[in-house]
Chains A and B, each alone.
Chain A
Amino acid sequence: MIRIPNIPESVVVKHGPKAWPLGLAGAGLLIIGSLLSWSFDPQVLGDLSISFNPGALQIMAIAQSVLAIILLLADKGPLTSFGEWADTALALRALATWALLFMALVLVAITVEAGGLVNIEPGGWISFLGAVLVFASSRLVLPRETRDLGHARLPDWSEILVIVILMAAILFGTAFALGLTDAWEFVLFLMVVTGVLITGVRAGLLTWLGHVTTRHKRVLMLAAFAVAFLFPFTQNGSDANMSIASQVLIFAAAAMGLNIVVGLAGLLDLGYIAFLGAGAYVGATMSTSAFATIGWKPPFIVVMLVGGCVSATLGLIIGAPTLRVSGDYLAIVTLGFGEIFRLTMFNLDGNNGPNLTHGPNGVPAIPDLTFGSFNFGDTHTLLGIPLARFSNYYFLLLLLIAFIILVFSRLNNSRIGRGWVAIREDEKAAEAMGVNVFGLKILAFVVGAFLAGLAGTIKAHQDVSVTPDQYIFLESAFLLAAIVLGGMGTVAGVLIGAVILKLLPEKLRFFADYRLLLFGLLLVLMMRFRPEGLVASRRRQLEFHEEDEELAVRVEGDIAEVVI
């Protein structure tokens, strides 16, 4: 039997049988309380003041209690066959802890926003009591030995169904979260999501999901893209969220390109933003803007290729020192190149060298893209839903991201990808086994730069203007942070990192000011506690934990699975 921390064993043994009814009662109270009014003031946190008409936060509370009931019934009751696999006791503990935190924060929020504890109606207190009871019961439930969920298999159709449901949840969850205008509500929703995710991890369900998704990779990819494609249709023509979403995609595209250099080839590039900038400047100077300095105006697809190639050429130049330099020094060299790029763009204003970029003023008034008669600036209606300017760019960027993901994952799973791993592991040995170390490093730089260049040309049109101060060192650091946070060498990780780093500052005004401060702290903490990132590449995880033998044994199966 596994000993429970915090509570003496004697208490657990004596009161253990009460856990189950206690938990059900608590969950029931939580639901009843959530159906009643929480707050006197209808102005705060959406509207929580009308009984039997639950607001968003109350629905979240109900969802948590339903989940708690399911876990309790899986522990003992009609769902025990599910309980055999999942570790319901640990899951319940995580869920109850987060639900209690959630309720406590809700009460704090009402108090702060409406001005005083008196604004809390009995319903709020009942729900809080319910959360406390569930929490108490979760501490008394005994963990049991469970079967390994890694071996659990459902029929294919139901596994695919799980993926589809998951994706749908992500779609509506994201749309819902972006719709929340109140920072408190947004934070509370994030808390619920985090709580549910941790509950899933504790139950072992996430591991199982990991296996399911590797078994049905294609389905997952298709579903993910379908969700991303459907997203603008959930916005009812509002372009505010689409503006954020397309910013996220540009950022993610660049981060993914950087991930080839950092995550796959293991080279630290601190000047990567220059490649995005090079693409953007090509896009700007070859656009039909009145301030564009290059007379040639080919179709945009050609401009994109030119942008990619110019960027790739820069990548070649920046990558060339890898022949002689590696490690920290290489990072500084790339940083130097990045700064040289920015300063050069700043200086080429006609007074200090030829006029190419209009110096600090940059190239403004870049017109929207047009493909034939399709103008990206116009609102188009599809299936009765209006899709405005940023939605148009969003779709284009989605295509680009799909292409980048394809390049990333195919290179990773090829002879070239194996070469990169070998270089990361032991450069000398790789060279001695005939791997073209220098060539592969350069290739990483060139491919990464090319992809960023493509993204840059679109960015120029989307942002309307291009100026040197968009391409400072901090932006490179930001891209790097997305990778570090999300996970080096994984696609999902970078997407998650990009979303977190770009979305949170937009939604939380407090965050916006402290964005960089928190971001700096985040880098330090990630390196200290989880250097491989949130969604870790198994191999990267191993590399960062050289001495962890137990981990190496545990993930062995996963590595082989990924490769094949």
Chain B
Amino acid sequence: MGIFDQQNLDTFVQQLVNGLTLGSLYALIAVGYTVVYGILQLINFAHGEIFMIGAFGALSTSLVLFRGQTALWVLPFMIIGAIIASVGTAVLMERFAYRPLRHAPRLAPLITAIGISVFLQELVRLNYNHVPFTSWNPFNLPDAKSRIPFPQIDVVTGPAFQIGGVTIQRSAIFTIGALLMCAALLWYFINRTKTGRGMQAVSQDADTARLMGINVDRIIVVAFAHGAVLAGIAGVAQGLQNNNIDFRMGFLAGLKAFTAAVLGGIGNIQGAVVGGLVLGVAEGMATQYIPGQFGGSPWKDVWAFVLLILVLVFRPQGLLGAKAVDRA
């Protein structure tokens, strides 16, 4: 049996497709880490929860406004709902938790991030299906303590495409498409608009930018919002792909996306996209090709963490080079 026989090739291509899909998801989230880092030199570890909140925002939109609807036109509304939820959370988070800590020692924002993370998870877990401290549930939302089925949308979900021996999910196409579009829009925004150039200026030197009349606080909020938009879209993509969502989904996804951001060179937006794709493909291949007892899906998260550690230890500046190196 040669290495290049049809079956092996199909398996390889299949894993490549799976990896790229997963990678697109990581990339969408990773951009959020990188944009904020580029401006504030802050690693917003609560970003994974923004992604989770986005998914719940989309779910709520669908359940409250279009319950039972599966037509394609619902999808844009769901995306808008996701974006509103995630951007709202991110902006509040920046304003009330991070902004007061701008000049605090590095430990402070990190611990704050853990606090926010736990807080948001618990808020969703305990209070998604009722108004806090009451049992009032006006929209008959499901209990978020366990997994919740995500609404299925015509065209975007449904039977997979079969090309040769390779299966391509419709939601995978949505995810990859979303990444391409977001990347293009983001590139346009950062390089072609006034605010985008302001962001570049602040990331170069915040104090000078301030002297030049740039409203640094506003730019920082914009950066958080940007990351949140992409994370919200990623939340929708994840829901469509897995058919269900839960309040814990942000933790692991956030960590992997962070790995992707570091892999691509934190602070570097193209890097985050490349890093996400590389990580996704690596994960797909590892699941398939690590042999023996320590391979396969039970160990796949272990390998992801091993990769995370190796990247942080041996290549903290990433594949494409980071904006800042000193993480002391």
Contact = CB atoms under 8 A, between A and B. Distances in A.
> Are A and B close enough to touch in the complex, i.e. CB under 8 Å?
yes
Interface of A: 266, 268, 270, 321, 324-329, 331-333, 335-337, 339-340, 343-344, 346-347, 351-353, 427, 473-474, 477, 480, 484, 513-514, 516-517, 519-524, 526-528, 531, 543-544, 546-547
A175 B328 CA distance: 46
A522 B294 contact: no
A430 B298 CA distance: 44
Interface in B104-146: 104-112, 114-123, 126
B314 interface: yes
B258 interface: yes
Interface residues of B, number: 47
B308 interface: yes
Contacts of B88: none
Contacts of A514: 122, 126
B294 A353 contact: yes
B241 to A, nearest CB: 23
A335 B110 CA distance: 12
A331 B258 CA distance: 13
A523 B108 CA distance: 10
A527 B328 contact: no
B69 to A, nearest CB: 33
Contact of B117 (A520, A531, A547): A520
Interface string B285-328: 00000000110101101100110110011101000000000011
A347 B298 CA distance: 7
A329 B301 contact: no
Contacts of A329: 262, 312, 316, 327
Given A352-B294, A520-B117, A522-B115, A332 B126 contact: no
A427 B100 contact: no
Given A268-B110, A347-B299, A347-B302, A521 B313 contact: no
A45 B207 CA distance: 59
A517 B312 contact: no
Interface of B: 43, 45, 97, 100-101, 103-112, 114-123, 126, 251, 255, 258, 262, 293-294, 296, 298-299, 301-302, 305-306, 308-309, 312-314, 316, 327-328
A332 B308 contact: yes
B118 A528 contact: no
Contacts of B298: 346-347, 352
A337 B126 CA distance: 29
Contact of B118 (A353, A520, A527): A520
A531 B109 CA distance: 10
A11 B113 CA distance: 48
B108 A521 contact: no
B41 to A, nearest CB: 10
Contact of B293 (A339, A344, A352, A474): A352
Contacts of A326: 327-328
A352 B295 CA distance: 8
Nearest to B93: A524
Contacts, number: 135
Contact of B306 (A340, A522, A523, A546): A340
A335 B43 CA distance: 15
Contacts of B110: 268, 328, 331
A546 B106 CA distance: 13
5 contacts: A427-B328, A474-B118, A528-B101, A544-B104, A546-B105
A527 B312 contact: no
B144 to A, nearest CB: 13
B293 A521 contact: no
Given A480-B114, A522-B115, A325 B305 contact: no
A533 to B, nearest CB: 11
Nearest to A484: B111
A473 B251 contact: yes
Given A474-B118, A528-B97, A343 B328 contact: no
Contacts of B328: 326-327, 427
Contacts of B100: 528
Contacts of A353: 293-294
Nearest to A323: B313
B296 A352 contact: yes
B228 to A, nearest CB: 18
A524 B107 CA distance: 12
A523 B118 contact: yes
Contact of B115 (A270, A336, A520): A520
B126 A513 contact: yes
A328 B115 contact: no
Given A321-B309, A321-B313, A520-B118, 20 more contacts: A324-B313, A325-B316, A327-B328, A333-B312, A333-B313, A336-B305, A336-B306, A336-B312, A340-B302, A343-B299, A427-B328, A474-B118, A480-B111, A514-B122, A514-B126, A520-B122, A523-B114, A527-B109, A531-B107, A547-B103
Nearest to A426: B328
B227 to A, nearest CB: 17
B215 to A, nearest CB: 23
Nearest to A513: B126
B305 A339 contact: yes
B122 A517 contact: yes
A79 to B, nearest CB: 43
B292 to A, nearest CB: 9
Contacts of A351: 293
A520 B108 contact: no
A118 B84 CA distance: 48
B130 to A, nearest CB: 13
